[in-house]
């Protein structure tokens, strides 16, 4: 008997986290219209927005979240799903720009935020597949990473050095050196968004989806947020969007919009998994743009990278296909054992 199977098609521009979430349990908040008053208006319903809503509502503030799409449908729901203990720029770059004390404060704040976020999700029993992960950064430029390591070590940031032999033994990858750091957590960001929004609603927060903000104006009494058929007077507005969106035209000149691409593989067979990085590790490198690799709970590899300036909307679909293929090729160069593995999401 011959059994034919259809080749798997890659899902492009779709969140794997939202795709795996039961449709019957997805929140469905109504669009908001009319005139309203609140203590706090939060613009953006991603992980930052819903966490802020929980903090405000739990403090007794009348809070509302305005989301132009659906809760967790933007950058958060399409992210790597990582709580990282460092801000992105190297410690040495921050030290050169702002001084030692400020750089240490920034890194300490990021690490504390990662720990606190994980503790909050646990305390609220949010089913977000939260797992601790050790962050390992590898390099082919040993001098570059050594200088970063020594700067962090001198600042008391708790890092450990890895030799080439240790990198190979731990990660099964060729690199000249590596650096270990703690307090990274992997999670399902969509489930985290949904869970935190539920917790915020229990404290009285209101959520409005499909509710785009058109204008934000300030007066002596506070702030007025307006949209299509909507006006909210508030004491405070908190902007939790991923970038300066259309209603903040005055801020847009201060930002350069960039795109980061992600690819999620099909499940990796057990025989191949033994030749790759351990499950409890998040792997990064010092390339520019850098890569980030981690496992998901269902044994898939999630790789991010291939950053570039924002592309025009008319070309984005084609670019997404190209970047997905590029990332799979770069993953193959790192781990030849994955040959034949296909991307399920791009």
Domain assignment of residue 289, yes or no: yes
* 262-316: pLDDT as tens digits: 999 999 999 999 999 999 999 999 999 999 999 999 999 999 999 999 999 999 9
Q: Side-chain half-sphere of 125: how many Cα atoms within 13 Å?
A: 0
pLDDT reported for residue 3: 54
- Which of 230, 252, 274 delimits the end of a domain? 252
Of 252, 287, 321, the residue at which a domain comes to its end is 252
Please report whether residue 315 resides in a domain.
yes
- Per-residue pLDDT, 101: 97
pTM of the model: 0.93
Cα 302 → chain centroid:
12
Asked whether residue 242 is assigned to any structural domain, the reply reads yes
Residue 214 pLDDT: 92
Residue 134 lies in a domain: no
- Residues 198 and 322 placed together within one structural domain of the fold: no
Instruction: Evaluate whether residue 1 is within a structural domain.
Output: no
Instruction: Enumerate residue ranges in the chain where pLDDT < 70.
Output: 1-7
pLDDT at position 238: 95
C-alpha span between 225 and 41 (Å, rounded) = 8
Q: Is residue 102 part of a domain?
A: no
Look at the chain and report how many structural domains it folds into: 2
Structural domain span for residue 305: 258-346
Going edge to edge, which strands form the sheet with 34-43?
206-208, 63-66, 34-43, 230-239, 222-227, 213-219
Query: Domain for residue 186, yes or no?
Result: no
- The predicted-structure confidence for 146-183, as pLDDT tens digits, reads as follows 999 999 999 999 999 999 999 999 999 999 999 999 99
Quick one: 343 and 264 in the same domain? yes
- pLDDT confidence of residue 7: 62
> 205 and 57 in one domain?
yes
Does one domain contain both 265 and 341?
A: yes
Query: Taking a C-beta distance cutoff of 8 angstroms, is the pair 67, 30 a contact?
Result: no
- Whether residue 317 sits in one domain with residue 299: yes
Tell whether 129 is covered by a domain: no
- Amino acid 248: pLDDT: 78
Asked whether residue 299 falls in the same domain as residue 314, the answer is: yes
Residues 287 and 317 in one domain: yes
User: What's residue 253's pLDDT?
Assistant: 85
Residues 263 and 240 in one domain: no
Asked which of 207, 233, 252 is the last residue of a domain, the reply is: 252
pLDDT at 140: 93
All residues at 6 or more sequence positions from 183 whose CB lies less than 8 Å from its CB, including other chains: 85, 111, 114, 115
The predicted structure's pLDDT at residue 6: 52
Please check whether residues 333 and 195 belong to one and the same domain: no
């Amino acid at each position: 008997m011959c059994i034919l199977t259809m080749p798997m098609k890659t899902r492009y521009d779709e969140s794997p986290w939202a795709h795996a979430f039961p449709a019957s349990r997805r929140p469905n908040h109504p669009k908001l219209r009319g005139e309203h008053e609140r203590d706090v208006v939060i613009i953006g319903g991603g992980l930052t927005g819903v966490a802020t809503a929980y903090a405000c509502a739990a403090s007794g503030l009348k809070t509302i979240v305005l989301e132009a799409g659906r809760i967790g449908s933007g950058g958060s729901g399409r992210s790597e799903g990582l709580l990282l203990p460092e801000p992105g720029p190297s410690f040495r770059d921050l030290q050169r720009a702002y001084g030692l004390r400020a750089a240490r404060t920034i890194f300490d704040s990021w690490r504390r935020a990662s720990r606190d976020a994980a503790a909050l999700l646990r305390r609220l029993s949010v089913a977000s597949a939260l797992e601790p992960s050790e962050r390992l950064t590898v390099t082919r430029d040993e001098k570059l990473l050594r200088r970063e390591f020594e700067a962090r070590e001198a600042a008391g940031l708790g890092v450990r050095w890895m030799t080439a032999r240790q990198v190979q033994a731990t990660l099964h990858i060729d690199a000249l050196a590596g650096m270990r750091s703690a307090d990274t957590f992997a999670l399902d960001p969509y489930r985290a968004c949904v869970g935190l929004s539920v917790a915020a609603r229990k404290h009285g927060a209101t959520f409005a989806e499909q509710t785009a903000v058109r204008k934000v104006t300030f007066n002596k009494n506070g702030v007025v947020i307006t949209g299509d058929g909507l006006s909210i007077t508030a004491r405070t507005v908190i902007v939790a969007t991923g970038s300066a969106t259309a209603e903040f035209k005055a801020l847009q000149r201060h930002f350069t919009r960039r795109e980061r691409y992600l690819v999620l593989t099909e499940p990796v067979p057990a025989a191949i998994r033994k030749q790759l990085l351990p499950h409890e590790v998040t792997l990064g490198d010092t390339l520019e743009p850098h890569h980030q690799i981690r496992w998901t709970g269902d044994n898939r590899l999630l790789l991010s990278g291939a950053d570039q300036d924002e592309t025009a909307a008319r070309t984005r679909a084609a670019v997404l296909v190209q970047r997905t293929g590029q990332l799979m090729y770069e993953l193959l160069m790192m781990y030849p054992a994955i040959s034949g593995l296909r991307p399920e999401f791009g």
